[in-house]
Amino acid sequence: MKYPLKSVVLSIAALIHVSTWAQSTIAPPPVNDAVYQAFGQKAGIEALMEDFFVRLQADPRTGPFFKNANRTRLVFQLTEQLCHESGGPCTYKGAPMRGAHASMNIGKEDFNALVEVLQASMDSKGIPFTAQNAMLARLAPMHRDIITKN
Amino acid sequence: MPFSTLLNGLLRTVVAMAAAAGAAGSAHAEQGKLLLTGGVSSIDGAAGGGLTPWAVIGSYATQGQIGTTAHITAVNTQNYNLTTYGVAVGWNERVELSLAKQDFNAGDNLAPLGLTGLHLKQDILGVKVRLTGDAVLDSDTWMPQIALGIEHKSADAGQLGPTLFGVLGAKKTGTDVYLSATKLFLAQSFLVNGTLRATKANQNGLLGFGGAQGDGVKLQPEISIAYLLNKKLVVGAEYRAKPDNLNRSVLGVGALKEDDWFDVFVAWAPSKNLSLTLAYVDLGKIAPAVQPKRQTGTYLSAQLAF
């Protein structure tokens, strides 16, 4: 190509145009409850969240954020939320993510640390890797409302 | 400042950071990225796949952090081998700086040209900037992570130099400019990367840049796909198109014809401090006038991260 810089600039322009479309596309709700079943339905999710909460308080990276958390209420809210996100028959009625996390000054390393703690929890319950990623794919976009630092 | 001084300085910094990280304990290590999401070290030193740079910023440092990696790679085909080593620093999940050295052992393949025990070397300085997007967490959109990068390369062709930079018309230095888009389709555990590289490099720069018969910058596509088997293990494949500037050199049509590169790989990260990548590579024909055999073989790479 004779004018490579022009090509690169055009490529970037094309990508930005495509990205405007890409960002407007929102993932539809799960088409079936396969992930919900893989997690052991509501009882399985609740047991997972109980385990998750214990790990969150124990991990030195996430512990400070959950030091004063109300265990019963948080386990209940998380169970409803993950049940709903995995295609189960639940409704999340808790606070919106942005409001619930606004004052916590959560950075990306904190968010990723929580993901790792959740992965450890899911591993301990024997949830298959593909089902874990399907669930994480539903939860990951919440980072935009949760991460406020940097 | 000579490249080797820069590299040595950076290596010392890496060692110092590693010692500090070890002394401070893992709780203070600036490793906020999820496992494997910093990519591996490409042969040019930039983070990505083994052969091509991706839009990910290297190391395990995430926003608000700084991290380092060091890598060593050995590629062995039937008649040649290539060693690369380098360091990279990732800052704030926004900027990546890398330095790499390559040493291509041509052995006695170019003996017909009177060149035995020939080594082709090159130094590569890389800078990459993440423009937008998050390859992992933007799992509800089609939006990839996008980065713009440059790789400034400086070739040392040893005894081949006078011919390469003389009658063959190649230059000693060149700068690749690339745009990469990387996305992990998290729900499918599947990653795709597309890179578009504007380059004059012959055999990635080991045979200089451009040539007497074709000096234009070429736009070359590169693609990687990968599938996550579990948190620590990924398999994939890569393809790199190559410009073929020296095809019609004075040594004859096709004498220095250049082929596209291809590999299938498996990468394993037992921890955030180490990753190992093993690949089967197909580098096509290299200087087919003297060595007609298609070069296939193994690629083995180790990356340390702090």
Nearest chain A residue to B231 by CA: give it.
A129
Do B63 and A27 lie within an 8 Å CB cutoff? no
Residue A24 has pLDDT above 80, yes or no: no
Region B75-95: what's the mean pLDDT? 97
CA dist., res. B222 & res. B258, Å (int): 15
Interface contact B182, partner A, CB < 8 A? no
Least confident of B25-39, B64-78, B210-224: B25-39
- Highest mean pLDDT out of B132-146, B210-224, B244-258: B132-146
Predicted local confidence at residue A4, as pLDDT: 56
Which of B141, B145, B245, B272 should be substituted to probe chain A, the one whose Cβ sees the most A Cβ atoms within 10 Å?
B141
Least confident of B14-18, B144-148, B245-249, B268-272: B14-18
Number of domains in chain B: 1
- Residue A103 belongs to a domain: yes
Shortest CA gap B178–chain A (Å): 8
Number of domains in chain A: 1
- The better pLDDT of the pair A9, A129 is held by A129
pLDDT tens readout for residues A79-119: 999 999 999 999 988 889 999 999 999 999 999 999 999 99
Domain that residue A87 falls in:
33-146
Interface contact B137, partner A, CB < 8 A? yes
Predicted local confidence at residue A26, as pLDDT: 45
Do A112 and B132 lie within an 8 Å CB cutoff? no
CATH code of the domain containing B272:
2.40.160.40
- Residue A20 belongs to a domain: no
- The better pLDDT of the pair A15, B168 is held by B168
Provide the terminal-to-terminal Cα distance of chain A, rounded to the nearest Å. Answer: 40
Q: What pairs with residue B104 in β-bridges?
A: B82, B120
Predicted local confidence at residue B214, as pLDDT: 74
- Residue A46 belongs to a domain: yes
Predicted local confidence at residue B22, as pLDDT: 56
Least confident of A125-129, B82-86, B209-213: B209-213
**Rounded to the nearest 10 degrees, what angle do helices A129-139 and A71-85 cross at?**
100
Residue A141 has pLDDT above 90, yes or no: yes
Residue B306 has pLDDT above 90, yes or no: yes
Do B217 and A150 lie within an 8 Å CB cutoff? no
Predicted local confidence at residue B174, as pLDDT: 97
Strand pairing of B190-199 and B145-156?
Answer: unpaired
pTM: 0.90
- Residue A14 belongs to a domain: no
Domain that residue B194 falls in:
3-305
Residue B269 three-state SS: strand
Q: What does the mean pLDDT of chain B come to?
A: 93
The complex's ipTM works out to: 0.89
- Judge whether B179 and B196 are in contact, CB under 8 Å: yes
Do A112 and B177 lie within an 8 Å CB cutoff? no
Predicted local confidence at residue B212, as pLDDT: 86
Region A22-51: what's the mean pLDDT? 84
Interface contact B230, partner A, CB < 8 A? yes
Predicted local confidence at residue A61, as pLDDT: 97
Looking at chain B, the whole-number percentage of residues with pLDDT higher than 90 is 81
Q: What does the mean pLDDT of chain A come to?
A: 88
- Residue A15 belongs to a domain: no
CATH code of the domain containing A63:
1.10.490.10
Region B254-282: what's the mean pLDDT? 96
Predicted local confidence at residue A147, as pLDDT: 96
Confidence of residue B132 (pLDDT cuts 50, 70, 90): very high
Region B115-128: what's the mean pLDDT? 96
CA dist., res. A98 & res. A77, Å (int): 15
Predicted local confidence at residue A15, as pLDDT: 64
CA dist., res. A131 & res. A36, Å (int): 9
Predicted local confidence at residue B20, as pLDDT: 63
Do B143 and A22 lie within an 8 Å CB cutoff? yes
Shortest CA gap A76–chain B (Å): 25
